Structure 1
């Protein structure tokens, strides 16, 4: 998993894409349905912690993946073709959420990943139960094709409050295999559960953090 936190780079990339499209900050804000002050604050350097959902809307208008905007790579992006792949939001049914048409995460279509991109969903971390590994409003990519906690890893699961992100590992209890469900934040309790009592949606394979 990766973390990206280069604010100067994101400003440069947004301005570059705006120049390519021939639009100004006001037009970008209008097309992305975000406040003009949100765009102005990013471009001026006043905003050091823009919300990920609004950045996704900005990326969609600029026709680039969000992963490109927030990466630390000093590279340009070719908009000459439809070379981005939409990643939809993860919901409780492990399908497209009702809001998926409004917010999508985009990846370069030619990205090389050791998994099927069609199985990927994105999700926003809620709360601090996985701190310091993941924090509130981090964006994670979830491989819904991998639901087996071997090797040990971080997964999205369904519990009593909806979708949660937890570290999972198999443990043996009296010759029976159970699932240990762990919060990285030690202020939250970890517990064990029978396999059939836990619905695993997929393995977290990547994350990004707002500036």
Structure 2
């Protein structure tokens, strides 16, 4: 998926507008699109996404995916069409960290890297996940094979940190942010948790529960075909 900067720059060239003209036509502040092109603004959501799409003669989904179909001038979306497009979509952030299914990656600055459009019926109605308490993150490594593969993107429900219920979690284990099965060890004193891989070539390890921070439960997997 192309970055917002790349998508906007390409679209401006396609429609023959400069950043100020597109911002004006969309009803945005004068420097809004210039800030995108100068890497000062990496994500856009809500009403600003509507306005950006209007200024670029596109739809919000085209801006988000970076894929533009040829649209005759007469078929350009109205403000009502743009709003309707967003009503069935929720935007989930991907932060500038990676989930290890191997030895782990240290957490960097937790800034939004990009946003993923997901169908609202899937996230809210089917999974029961609150969009403002969810994130999409990349999995790196093979320790969760065959359940998770390196390069998969997982949807994490940050409202669900209940390790008493079986499942796979994004968890800070005291050293790194990892994607593993987590379970309490009964009778351990001080209390410990067991962090397990699905790949039999990788072992499991025990960690004091007080140093573990559960980020959330894995609820959905997006995988390349």
Structure-2-length-normalised TM-score: 0.54
Q: Residue 121 of structure 1 corresponds to which residue in structure 2?
A: 135
Q: Are residues 161 and 128 of structure 1, via their aligned partners in 2, closer, same or farther at CA, if it must alter by over 3 Å? A: farther
Change (3 A) 1:198 1:175: closer
Change (3 A) 1:33 1:172: farther
* 2:7 paired residue among 12, 31, 42: 31
Which residues in structure 2 correspond to 1:115-194 (within 5 Å)? Answer: 115-159=129-173, 162-174=176-188, 177-194=191-208
What SS class does the counterpart of residue 125 from structure 1 fall into? strand
Give the secondary-structure state (helix, strand or coil) at the position aligned to 2:182.
strand
The answer to whether the 8 A contact 1:155-1:166 is kept is: yes
Structure 1 residues 149 and 32, CA, compared in 2 at 3 Å: closer, same or farther?
Answer: farther
The structure-2 alpha-carbon separation of the partners of 1:58 and 1:124, relative to structure 1 and needing over 3 Å to count, comes to farther
Higher gyration radius (CA)? 2
Unmatched 5+ residue regions in structure 1?
1-29, 35-55, 64-77
Name the CA distance, whole Å, in 1 between partners of 2:174 and 2:62: 31
**Does the Cα contact within 8 Å between 2:174 and 2:211 map onto a contact in 1?**
no
Distance 2:128 2:92 in 1: 16
Where do residues 1-211 of structure 1 align in structure 2 (5 Å cutoff)?
31=7, 60-62=65-67, 80-83=84-87, 84-90=89-95, 97-100=110-113, 103-111=114-122, 112=125, 113-159=127-173, 162-174=176-188, 177-211=191-225
- How far residue 159 of structure 1 moved from its aligned partner, in angstroms, is 3.7
Cα separation, 1, equivalents of 2:194 and 2:166: 10
Deviates more, 1:140-149 or 1:156-165: 156-165
Distance 1:176 1:57, change over 3 A: farther
Give the structure 1 partner of residue 78 of structure 2.
none
Whether the 8 Å CA contact 2:158–2:215 is kept in 1: the answer is: yes
Q: Please list the CA deviations of residues 130-157 of structure 1 after superposition, one character each: whole Å capped at 9, or x if unmatched.
A: 1111000011000111112121110011
1:176 Cα offset (Å)? 5.7
3-state SS, counterpart of residue 205 of structure 1? strand
Do the aligned residues in 2 keep the contact of 1:125 with 1:136 (CA within 8 Å)?
yes
Count of residues in correspondence between the two structures: 145
- 1:26 aligned partner: none
| Residue-by-residue CA offset, 1:177-198 (whole Å, 9 max, x unaligned) | 4211001112112012221011
Question: How high is the TM-score relative to the length of structure 1?
Answer: 0.57
Assess if the C-alpha contact under 8 Å between 2:136 and 2:154 holds in 1.
yes
State whether residues 173 and 207 of structure 2, in contact with CA within 8 Å, keep that contact through their aligned partners in structure 1.
no
